[in-house]
Amino acid sequence: MKKQSARLAAGATLVVALAALTGCSASASGGGSSSVTLNILDEFTTAPASPKLNELIKTYESANPGVKIVRTSVPQGQGVTKLTQGVSTGNAPDVVFFDSPNTQQYAAQGLVENLNSKVAGWATKSEYYKGAWDSTQYSGGTYGVPLYSDAPGIYVNQDMLTAAGISKVPSTWTELRTDAKALTKNGVSGLCFGTTPGAAADYLFMPYIWQSGGSLNTVATSALPSLQLFQALKADGSIPQDVLNWTWQDAFTAFQNKSCGIVFGGPWNAGDAAKLPFKVAAGIPPQKDGGTKASVLGGYNVGTGKGGNVDAAWKFIDWFTSKKVLASYLEATTQLPNRKDLADLSFVKSSPFLPTFVKSISIGKPRTFGAQLPQIDSAIMSMFQSVLAGKLSPTEAAKQGESAIGPLLSK
Amino acid sequence: MTPITSAAPIRANVRRLRRHGRLTGILFLAPVVLFLVGALGYPIFVNVRFSFTSTTAGTLLSGGPWVGLANYTAVFTDPKFLESAGNTVVFTVMSIVFQLGLGLLLAAFYNQRFPGATRMSSLYLLAWAAPVVATGAVFRWLYDRQYGVINWLLGMLHLTDGHTAWLSDTQFALGAVTVANIWTGVPFYVTFFLAALKNIPEQVHEAASMDGAGAIRRFVSITVPMLRPPLLIGGVFGIIFTLKAFDMIWIMTRGGPLGSTETLSTYGYNQFFTFFQFGAGAAVMNVLLVVMIIVAAIYLRVSRGEES
């Protein structure tokens, strides 16, 4: 028995010693500069974003010989699943590029680190526009820093508009309704957009709710005017039934096919819009006559995950968001800047559409609705779909929306 | 000394098992038992545990706090869950009835002797083998309001105005998705029933013909009763597969519009991966699991009855 106890004790000591050594090694790799492996998770699977990120990673590795970067890329929208799986299986990434509206949800779920201590004296912080910086905040914490922003707008078939005797892009709700109705003929729908589940209803409809001067806390009244607008557009025959099962891309494809005269889109459509065989013009989301100017912000933030290498990850983020590096990334990917020191990028100036979307960003608000954003998004979508499908009146839909959204905002 | 004394009874047990020839049986069973416990038992256990806790992504490994039946209460009182359950019943019943019915009729047809019957029936498998992603995308185009073949055909025949929004109208969306699911499943049943039909001795049909039974009478009184076991197995498998069906719905409508094609599978998926309600998602999946276990138990009971 004594011999057995002695063996057990020796074994236990060995295990403890090995664990301690492993712990030492992990802590050395976490904070030191000798040898660090940084795991990056992003949603940039296509060109030009994916190869540009690879190029910048190589540049960083060359400048920091002790750092090895392992990149995992998943298709857009699947980052959250991958991140959740990573955290749940103990393989969390160190650096995460994520959709900015997900910030509060990720923070509440404990998927990303609070960077308050890192950004406290960070000089770059003052360069960001308020809306973009606000998108990183949750319960007093800073969960990432903004990378780039986008905001919605409209594209119009200018040839169709001219043929209908209209000279300018609709900029108000009244003009939108009149123009969409004028374009609706011969199998063409005046206004198209996508509301399939997962189409980000908050991104689609929040500008119109905010323009009525309210917030999600008072949806029964603040959403009513915009619900009435979309009901009127549907009643005019300007909105096709297909919008209930269309994605944003489906709607833009219909615009490309000349099945739609006006389409809700974003800066990501600018490249395709420039190649169309008809004249296209862009505008910011039409504003409520006499209302508050508003648009909504999307885009990407970059934060640190729960991989255990916060210092090394922050060092990479600090480098990646430095003026020269980020400018090179934005130029290559034609993503729009959200800070003052990068306002004059050449690709924006030379585009016929992008300055419009920069203007939309300038009046954009972040979707900081708390940790229950997906449920809120679903409730907003239900509200508008119910009206578009003719299931509920705007008043009924707005009331139902408030009772669904109210409890979610307090969580 | 302890190890020696404790090993003795084990050796004695092994000898006794060998004597009774049971050791071989246990060894044969071991891989199956290990597989069932590891690959099925553990995930089910974790899922059941989730459903009684308030788990977030951050506490997936450590486990969230115990909340009792709160997740089940939240799910059962959610009108969307009830709507999804109703849709699941409609989707499953319609799919199974038509998949089995059409599969059986087509199998009976291809069981006749005519040139190309075997080759034609084999071609059906191509539809079943096609990836659901492709099938779903093709059906989306077929159903397209403006450019879809279905609207073109119906319009040409003056059956509709040719502009029905099959997947965007809450009245039609579930039916449209169900038809696509039926189309995908029929070829499997054609092959399945065709194999079963080949096992029915021709003499039985010949004897019935000599007694004056027509083709329909032979089908109803001979073919269908003799296909009872495969019909039962096909039905049970079909119910389980259809209850779990997710990909076809997700590709075609993502559960929309307005939840009109939401089934328990898509509802549970959304709870997990869209809303991060891991407890509620687990509760939904457990409800589905219980339903499937009940279906399997009914099958076992009926098949035992048949055997006895």
B49 touches chain A (CB under 8 A): no
Helices (H), chain B: 2-19, 22-35, 42-51, 70-76, 79-110, 117-129, 132-142, 149-156, 173-198, 202-210, 215-218, 224-226, 228-244, 247-252, 264-269, 278-307
Whether A21 is covered by a domain: the verdict is: no
Specify the number of domains making up chain A: 2
Closest CA to A99 of A69, A127, A72, A78: A78
Same domain flag for A278 and A308? no
A188 within a domain of the structure (yes/no): yes
**CATH number of the domain where residue A392 is located:** 3.40.190.10
Q: Which two tokens stand for residue A190?
A: 């005046």
- pLDDT for A96-117, tens place per residue? 999 998 899 899 888 999 999 9
Site from B56, B145, B174 to mutate, A interface, most A CB atoms within 10 angstroms = B56
Please name each of the domains of chain B with its CATH number: 2-51 (no CATH), 78-307 (1.10.3720.10)
pLDDT score for A2? 42
Same-domain check for residues A55 and A100: yes
Which of B62, B133, B145, B168 should one mutate to test binding to chain A, selecting the residue with the greatest count of A CBs within 10 A?
B168
Shortest Cα distance from A82 to chain B (angstroms)? 10
In a domain, A12, yes or no: no
Q: Which residues of B touch A245 (CB under 8 A)?
A: 165, 167-168, 173, 253, 256-257
Domain limit, last residue, from A331, A347, A365: A365
Residue B70 has pLDDT above 90, yes or no: yes
Q: How far separated are the first and last CA of chain B, in Å rounded?
A: 55
A291 with A381, same domain: the answer is: yes
Host domain of residue A93: 33-149+298-365
Phi, psi of B288 (to 5 degrees): -60, -40
Residue A13 clears pLDDT 60, i.e. is over it:
no
User: Per the domain annotation, does A216 fall within a domain?
Assistant: yes
CA distance A319 to A328: 12
Looking at residues A121-138, what average pLDDT do you find?
92
For residue A338, give the nearest of A137, A139, A171, A125 by alpha carbon: A125
Residue A25 lies in a domain: no
Name which of B257, B273, B276 is nearest A245 (Cβ-Cβ).
B257
Q: Is the pLDDT of residue A28 over 50?
A: no
Chain B: nearest CA to A340, how far in angstroms? 34
**Is there a single domain that holds both residue A397 and residue A336?**
no
pLDDT (0 to 100) of residue A5: 44
User: Within this chain, do residues A284 and A318 fall inside the same structural domain, yes or no?
Assistant: no
Q: Which residue of A has its CA nearest to B62?
A: A88
B158 CB-near residues (< 8 Å, 6+ apart): none
Average pLDDT score over chain A: 89
On whether residue A15 sits in a domain, the answer given is: no
Instruction: Work out the percent of chain A whose per-residue pLDDT is above 70.
Output: 91
Do residues A277 and A381 both lie within one domain?
Answer: yes
Lowest mean pLDDT among A245-259, A330-344, B19-33, B133-147: B19-33
- Which residue type is seen at B163? H
A14 has pLDDT over 50: no
In angstroms, rounded to a whole number, what is the distance separating the alpha carbons of residues A160 and A171? Answer: 17
A276 and A304 inside one domain: no
Local confidence band at A333 (pLDDT 50, 70, 90 cut-offs): very high
**A374/B165 Cβ within 8 A:** no
Q: How far is B257 from chain A (nearest CA, A)?
A: 6
Cα first-last separation, chain A: 58
A134, A167: one domain: no
Q: Across residues A197-219, what is the average pLDDT?
A: 87
Whether residue A385 is contained in a domain is answered as yes
- Looking at the structure, do residues A381 and A343 belong to the same domain, yes or no? no
